[in-house]
Amino acid sequence: MTLKELNKKCERFAKKVGSCRRGKDCPKQYGPLSETCQTGKLKICKITGDRKHCARMASLGVLPGEEAELICPQNNAQCLLKVHGGTLSLDQDTSNNIIVQTL
pLDDT tens over the chain, length 103 residues: 566 665 555 555 455 444 443 334 445 578 888 888 778 899 999 999 889 989 999 999 999 999 999 887 766 667 889 999 899 999 888 888 999 998 8
Domains of the chain: 27-102 (2.30.30.90)
pTM of the model: 0.68
Measured at the CA of 92, the angle between CA 78 and CA 55, to 5 degrees, comes to 110
